[in-house]
Amino acid sequence: MHAFIRRYRMGTGSIDDLMSKVNRQFASQLSPEGDAASGAPVQVPAGIVSYQAIAAGDDTIITVTLFETEEACRRAEQGARDIRLSLAEFQVEETHTFTGEVMLSRASEALLTPVVR
């Protein structure tokens, strides 16, 4: 597995509105009951294992995306750009990016329950 961790700064709008739009346009496609979305502006690329978006305060959002392979991680870069473009109204700016091989991973059943606030 490989991970992409990104830190963003939101320039305008509310974090709740931003997260709602990210869920509708992207994240909901990752759930088994999600809409694999013919009409979604951003299609989920193959190989994503999990996605989390974290409100870190001060208009900062951190996303953690896990991929099956390094290649899937690299392929997802265009999708990340498309997501940022679709969020233009929030003036989302990527400030830091980290990527690397997942060396240890454990999860409880709770991880499988989607969280949408």
* E-strand stretches of 28-115: 48-57, 60-67, 92-101
Token pair for residue 97?
A: 């990016």
Q: What is the mean pLDDT of the chain?
A: 85
H/E run at residue 2: strand 2-10
Mean per-residue pLDDT for 72-81? 83
CB contact set of 49 (below 8 Å; sequence gap of 6+): 1, 66, 67, 68
Q: What is the pLDDT of residue 92?
A: 92
Q: Which residues pair with 60 in a beta bridge?
A: 9, 57
- In this predicted structure, the answer to whether residue 38 has a pLDDT above a threshold of 50 is no
Domains and CATH numbers, the chain: 2-104 (3.30.70.100)
pLDDT single digits (tens) 88-101: 999 999 999 999 99
User: Which residue is it, tokens 């953690």?
Assistant: 64
